[in-house]
Structure 1
Amino acid sequence: MNQAVNSPFRYAGGKFYARKLILEYIPQHFSYVEPFAGGASIFFAKDKVQKNWLNDIDEDLVNVYLFIRDYPEKLIDTLKNEVATKERHNFYKNVFIPNNPLEKATRWYYLNRTSYSGIMNMRNCYWGYGDKYSMRPENWGRNILRTSQKLQNVRLTQLDFEEVIKQVEDNSFLFIDPPYFNADQDKFYNHSFSKECHYRLSNVLKNSGNRFQFLLTYDNSPEIQELYSWAKLIHEKEWNYTINRTDDQKKTKDVQDDIKKEATVKKGSRYKGREIFITNFALVTEGYTQLSLNYEYI
């Protein structure tokens, strides 16, 4: 399968709603790499190329990707009779103890599809399923099969981002979507990304970026603007998305405030995503810099 499909996961900080904006930036390439794959919305939204590599430091996430790619029927079979309820969510979160990789993948997939914003940090993994806004369990199997087809012959690894970047082939294209600079990512992810990691990422891209092209997405902050002052382009971008609140109201206010300030937004409200896009190459379209600023997609 080569055509666009949706990611198999919900993922905090994912780029589902920014896909159209991001795809406009991607040049022609034969080798595609995501060092911070997460939900890999951009990979699934674009055409596959000759070589594709998805990497993430999260062992449990990569384990699910491997089952979707290599053993989709096994994962589908373990999920086929599931229902989306708070009781089952509590069971998988607090009671169920997986004993093998398949059971780990089953637990992760169930919690991801039924938790608020796809947050998989167990301290902040709350019930967040709604029939109107979430994929129903009876459709999970078809979703897994579609994404399994697209993942065929895709390299999947669980490495530090620096190791990936140093290994990429010359003339590859990298889509790089690290955790935000000015956010407490420990509340959302199981692996912390320190300020030192942000500086390490900038250094490795600066020192080796002449071998490949990259698009890097970040929260817009003076620190990041300064850190990447050496880059070719830095564009301010924004897009619209709709918030549909189906979360467990027992979440703490601090967590609510940190998830895009969603605690103060009513269900169905429109919200703007704002980031900067950083590249080490010039865009082909003449004058694109001015046209792209503040362009919106719904």
Structure 2
Amino acid sequence: MIGQIPPETYPRPFLKWAGGKSRLIQQYIPYLPKHYKTYYEPFIGGGAIFFYLKSSTAVLTDINAELITTYRCVRDQVEELICLLKEHKIRHSREYYYAVRANPKSSDLEQAARLIYLNKTCFNGLYRVNSKGQFNVPLGKYENPNICHEESLRAASIALASAEIRQADFIDVLNCATSSHDFVFCDPPYHPISNTSYFTSYSRNSFNEKDQERLRNTCAELASRGVKVMISNSDCELIRNLYQEINFNIYRIAAARSINSNTKKRGMVYELLITSY
């Protein structure tokens, strides 16, 4: 039986993120590769697996430009970022939230502080944009949101110090990961398992079935090079068929669903963890 990992032994995500893997790490441990040199995560999101692994050599990418800007600011300007977040904390109110949400900022630091502030105060930490790319999640019901967790931000900054961070489509990983010394973890937007599963648009262009096929093809190419590949996704026929076709290993993982407007539909569901090795 695997014991619980004390949270203080590794940096933690500084963002709440739909589908975040913090609560699943214990179940992932048996499937993580034991030996590799460079870690790649092309859908960085909250970065729970990266922070747990503490890889000294890592390439972290995402298509979300605001998210990448935020990671870079945490890495490079964490003290300045903390100062801006303290200002948001002091001024936080319902009116202030909607004013910040309606007004994107110009500088990288202001953008990063805005994203973290909205993330900590919006409904369930959900990231969603409309067709114009505008963040549109309503205010969450929090009495005292932890807008500026200085310790977590500084720990994340240290963990990110040597990481390469850039905006890119996931297929960009093909330009970098080339051998058995590389480990790629993909946590894409999950394929919906029902008509009500489309709760979010992560970017202006949703991640559709064709994108799932593109991802499968990318993972197949990586595996052909000897790269160790791990993918998480929803437990549904489409995803199972895609990866059975290329003889990847498929495992079921129990996960808690916490984002649903109907609280009765929250609870335990199954996801898939898929590996090339």
TM-score of the pair, normalised by structure 1 = 0.78
SS at match of 1:168: coil
2:103 aligned with 1:90 = no
Deviation at 1:37, TM superposition (A): 0.7
Aligned to 1:215: 230
Number of aligned pairs?
255
Q: Provide the residue aligned with 1:236 in structure 2.
A: 252
- Structure 2: which amino acid aligns with 1:278? I
Q: Per-residue displacement from partner, 1:78-117 (whole Å, max 9, x unpaired)?
A: 11233343222112112x3412222111211110111122
Within-5 A mapping of 1:152-163? 152-163=161-172
- Matching residue's letter, 1:100: S
- Given that residues 93 and 122 in structure 1 are in contact (C-alpha distance below 8 angstroms), is that contact kept between their aligned partners in structure 2? no
Corresponding residue number in structure 2 for 1:200: 214
Deviation at 1:273, TM superposition (A): 3.5
Q: Percent identity?
A: 27
Of stretches 82-91 and 53-62 in structure 1, the one that deviates more from structure 2 is 82-91
Query: For each residue in 1:218-253, what CA deviation from the matched residue of structure 2 results, as whole angstroms up to 9, or x when unmatched?
Result: 101111111111233111111347x5xxxxxxxxxx
- Unaligned segments of structure 1, at least 5 residues: 244-258, 282-298
Deviation at 1:198, TM superposition (A): 0.7
Match of 2:264 in 1: 265
- Are the equivalent residues in 1 in contact too, given 2:192–2:234 (CA < 8 A)? yes
Match of residue 248 from structure 1: none
Whole-angstrom distance in 2 between the partners of 1:110 and 1:179: 23
- Give distance in 2, aligned partners of 1:185 and 1:51: 34
Is residue 274 of structure 2 the alignment partner of residue 278 of structure 1?
yes
Do residues 187 (structure 1) and 200 (structure 2) align? yes
Cα pair distance change 1:214/1:129, threshold 3 Å: farther
What is the distance in 2 between the residues matched to 1:24 and 1:85?
44
CA contact (8 A) 2:231 2:275 kept: yes
2:56–2:163: 8 Å Cα contact kept in structure 1?
Answer: no
Separation in 2 of the partners of 1:52 and 1:115?
30
Letter in 1 for 2:124: S
In 1, Cα distance between the equivalents of 2:216 and 2:39?
19
Q: How does 1:66-215 map to 2 (within 5 A)?
A: 66-83=72-89, 84-94=92-102, 96-123=103-130, 124-131=136-143, 134=145, 136-137=146-147, 139-171=148-180, 172-182=182-192, 185=198, 187-191=200-204, 192-210=206-224, 211-215=226-230
Aligned AA (1:263):
N
Shift in Å at residue 143 of structure 1?
Answer: 2.1
SS at match of 1:126: coil
Residue identity matched to 2:191:
F
Structure 2 CA distance, aligned partners of 1:280 and 1:93? 41
Distance 1:129 1:61, change over 3 A: farther
Q: Deviations over 1:257-279 (max 9, x none)?
A: xx4x441339xxx7214101111
Aligned partners of 1:231 and 1:278 also within 8 Å: no
Question: Per the alignment, in what secondary structure is the counterpart of residue 106 of structure 2?
Answer: coil
Q: What SS does the aligned partner of 1:82 have?
A: helix
Give the C-alpha shift of residue 187 in structure 1.
2.3
Tell me, yes or no, if the aligned pair for 2:127 and 2:200 is still in contact at 8 Å: no
Runs (5+) with no aligned partner, structure 2: 1-7, 131-135
* Deviations 1:5-64, CA, capped at 9 Å, x for gaps: 210101112222212112321112221111111111111122x23411111110000000
The amino acid of 2:228's aligned partner reads Q
The C-alpha deviation readout for 1:159-191, integer Å capped at 9, x for no partner, is 111111342141211111111112665724124
Which deviates the most, 3-12 or 231-240? 231-240
CA distance in 2, matches of 1:185, 1:163: 26
Structure 1 residues 76, 129: closer, same or farther in 2, change over 3 A? farther
Q: 2:3 maps to which residue?
A: none
Mapped to 2, the partners of 1:5 and 1:265 lie a distance apart of 33
What is the match of residue 35 of structure 1?
Answer: 42
Structure 1 Cα separation of the partners of residues 129 and 192 of structure 2: 22
Contact 1:23 1:42 in 2 (8 A): no
